[in-house]
Chain A
């Protein structure tokens, strides 16, 4: 049957979340519609681009942490267009035997990733929708890159806020973590309206134009996504506060309207 997420066609006249993200990170993998939306978001909320960058920086720091903690398998769901600072680049630079599977719902992102990853036997990309976690796991299993008897880090960076409450994000997270081996990790970064000015909230709502609205969630809900896992210090915090590099100057961390956290399956 036709997967529920697969588009009927590729329409570059509508913005795509992955391409807007790429644009805000300084990439050129984007079109006029993506750039227009990116500019609009920036105009309404100058911190938006910084938030995107902070998310990327968090991902880099967290992947480094996970590799140093011994993780050699990553599943990055909602990986987007792999412009710069990809998980496999970061991880393989630290531990060349690390395997990474990317999953995204955007067929352009998937096609692009295929091109980037061609020639890397330890990395692959799959088309899939986070709303079908069992299907994702089944396809990852079928791929054979990931050994489910060993710890896996599941990365949900900036993707769960595209799910509405009706999609039951908590249930999806549970479904993803449940079959994983002891010692596995869950990484989440997630937009929030906590301590945010009204302008940002408006800007977030504007992102509905990418055909997927942002569902910002308060602290308790984001923390709740890690239920059953032991939190890695410092727990769920505004992104800049998650294990910053010594050089990082942290000015008003709540400017970055997103939480980050890493949980450990003990």
Chain B
């Protein structure tokens, strides 16, 4: 802006642009374009460029009109005030807009009082309008602040009211504590849960709410929460109620931090899960305990055993008493399962009391098997004392309703360094040892002996090998002569089985027959022996009446196919039924399986001879004997061995009296007698004198392999030499 130094000069023309006469567009045309360009460059306008240009063009036109008016100075002042205000109204509020406008006008207007008046008025109009706009905007802003403030406060009040309602009315407990573990506030639900008044819980500390079941890591977790290391923990926790009861809760603790991230307090939420906890505990207990006796079951025992071994120190020892009731099956079968179950409950109670008295765990493994675990034992003696105590605990009769039962037990005792064993290994040892206790005669405990286990596994290996051995033809027969007394005429041969084992050499029957009976392999083995014996007898003595005597096991007599098996063997060999004798024990004959007996009758009716082996060593029903399809009684070796001492002191020895009585008995019911194991001349003489019909034994002829049988028959008349 120029000064008003030329105020004395003529006023006409009042205003002229300096560019006038330049030949281009008139200043009133160029002014808006220049003004708009420079305003846009210095200040913000929401107007689009054409809008801004339009606005300024109108102002320029008004300026033109004012300039030409009669009172130009007054008109220009009036225009200046309006133009300044117009810019502000168009949001050209930046001070730069005023400066730019005055510069543009100053450059375009001829200096002089009218120009000065216009400029001054423009500045006045701009600032007056700007002040008004500013005050208006501040007013609006203040109102907005007030509204927003009250809105926020309302929201905060509502929010706080909501939170207070949630806090107070929540179904689960909420507690707030400071970072030192002091309880600041709890809601009613929390207080009710623990049975305290709210006021009493305030000021308590979290450690005061400890419970013995709290896991060790819980306090470490809490420490980490209070030190701000973690923001959230969650656990199942028990609390004592004020009345001493226990409630189980699902507890979740969160750290609340301020804006700077500093921990301010913790919020705990607890939900009562007592019922669920008890249900889970009950389910866990059920899963780990035997429903009948309430004792820990196999799975819990196995877990405890594994834990004990896993947590044992290097010198710790561990022990197990594995107990099985003797004769429990008989009680169950004869008195019924209800009594059996009651008995198990009573036994469980006694064993459990006994184990508890020593501080050990008793468990039921299933059936009538129980086990006592000694987690840290001092040595074998401790286990043996315990086993003895367990047997003693069972000695007193058990009263069940009308019954007074005595039940014995066998116990396998294992005691080992914990570090040197595995759960499966110790249980296997206990099982084997229990079996040994049973085999040793029941009602006793047996201590684990590794040699015994080795023997057991050898037996196992042997029994497992038998089927293949049969395939490979390793089972062969030898034949022991059976001769008439007196005169020793050959009447028949007893077939005896041997196992020609590729590694162990020739095995006698006592090494494998019992095993075969245990595994059931005796049935195929017996069938094999029967066929071999029939064939070899038929081949070796085609023209003789010599009979072959074959042993039948109990299992064989119970086979439905017994009659057909024997029939097939005879037919296949071409051997008449009359030349086959079957040897059975008394118990095989007396067993309640009528089928076996019927089969024997059928066979006897067909001409097969039947002998009772080892007569007098088992249970004999003499009255019944008469009606059995039996032809011969065989007297075992021990009776015969006693005959050597006969008549030493005048009176006959007991053995001789027994043999005498048995021979008389047999003859009374029309049976013949065969003496086994005759080893001396004297024995043969005595037997002859006592009227014994036939005999066999080393003295009368050893066992011959089949290839020698033909030679044995030489000189034997092909006549019917049999006594019957």
Contact = CB atoms under 8 A, between A and B. Distances in A.
Given A110-B148, A111-B145, A26 B155 contact: no
Given A53-B44, A115-B140, A245-B48, A10 B134 contact: no
A195 interface: no
Interface stretch (A1-9, A69-77, A198-206): A1-9
Given A6-B152, A6-B155, A247-B37, A26 B43 contact: yes
Given A247-B40, A249-B41, A108 B138 contact: no
A201 to B, nearest CB: 24
A10 B145 CA distance: 8
A109 B48 CA distance: 25
A27 B44 CA distance: 10
Nearest to A246: B49
Contact of B141 (A84, A107, A108, A114): A108
B94 A107 contact: no
Contacts of B149: 9-10, 107
A62 to B, nearest CB: 13
A248 B151 CA distance: 43
Contacts of A30: 141
A145 interface: no
Contact of A112 (B43, B49, B141, B152): B141
B212 to A, nearest CB: 39
B57 to A, nearest CB: 14
Contact of B48 (A25, A28, A64): A64
Contacts of A223: none
Contacts of B151: 107, 111
The majority secondary structure among interface residues of chain A is loop
B48 A27 contact: no
A64 B155 CA distance: 37
Interface string B156-168: 1001001100000
Interface in B622-646: none
Given A84-B46, A85-B46, A108-B141, A26 B94 contact: yes
B91 interface: yes
Interface in A210-266: 245-249
A111 B141 CA distance: 9
Most buried by B among A6, A56, A108, A114: A108
Contacts of A52: 44
B20 interface: no
A249 B40 CA distance: 10
B685 interface: no
A111 B148 contact: yes
A236 B48 CA distance: 22
A7 B48 CA distance: 37
B137 A28 contact: yes
Given A7-B152, A9-B152, A111 B162 contact: no
Nearest to A116: B140
Interface string A82-119: 01110001100000000000000001111110110000
A60 B94 contact: no
Nearest to B146: A111
B138 A28 contact: yes
B152 A8 contact: yes
A26 B91 contact: yes
Contacts of A85: 46, 91
Contacts of A115: 140, 143-144, 147
Interface string B696-707: 000000000000
A114 B144 CA distance: 9
A25 B145 contact: no
Given A6-B155, A26-B91, A29-B140, A56 B148 contact: no
A57 B91 CA distance: 13
Most buried by B among A27, A28, A249: A28
B585 interface: no
Interface residues of A, number: 39
Nearest to A61: B48
B46 A12 contact: no
A84 B91 CA distance: 7
Nearest to A8: B156
Nearest to A2: B159
Contacts of B43: 26
A26 B49 contact: no
Contact of B93 (A26, A60, A89, A246): A26
B199 interface: no
A29 B162 CA distance: 34
A118 B553 CA distance: 111
B465 interface: no
Nearest to B53: A247
Given A28-B134, A107-B151, A112 B46 contact: no
A246 B37 CA distance: 12
B147 A60 contact: no
A56 B141 contact: no
Contacts of B159: 1-2, 6
B144 to A, nearest CB: 4
Contacts of B148: 10, 107-108, 110-111
Nearest to B36: A247
B153 interface: yes
B138 A56 contact: no
Contacts of A111: 143-145, 147-148, 151
Contact of A1 (B36, B134, B138, B162): B162
A115 B46 CA distance: 20
Contact of B46 (A10, A60, A109): A60
Nearest to B143: A115
B171 to A, nearest CB: 18
Interface in A36-87: 52-53, 56-57, 60, 64, 81, 83-85
Contacts of B152: 6-10, 107
A2 B46 contact: no
Nearest to A89: B46
B133 interface: yes
A245 B46 contact: no
Contacts of B44: 25-26, 52-53, 56-57, 84
Contacts of A26: 43-44, 91, 93-94
B241 to A, nearest CB: 32
A28 to B, nearest CB: 4
A34 to B, nearest CB: 10
A90 B149 CA distance: 30
B144 A108 contact: yes
Given A9-B152, A29-B137, A108 B145 contact: yes
Interface string B122-150: 00000000000110011011011101110
A114 B138 contact: no
Given A10-B148, A28-B141, A115-B140, A2 B49 contact: no
A118 B292 CA distance: 81
Interface string B41-57: 10110101100000000
Nearest to A10: B149
B101 to A, nearest CB: 14
Nearest to A49: B44
Given A6-B152, A29-B138, A56-B44, 4 more contacts: A1-B159, A2-B155, A60-B46, A107-B152
Interface of A: 1-2, 6-10, 12, 25-30, 52-53, 56-57, 60, 64, 81, 83-85, 89-90, 107-112, 114-115, 245-249
10 contacts: A2-B163, A10-B145, A10-B149, A30-B141, A60-B48, A84-B46, A110-B148, A114-B147, A115-B143, A245-B48
List the 7 closest A-B pairs by CB distance, nearest first. Answer: A85-B46, A112-B144, A28-B137, A107-B148, A111-B148, A111-B144, A53-B44
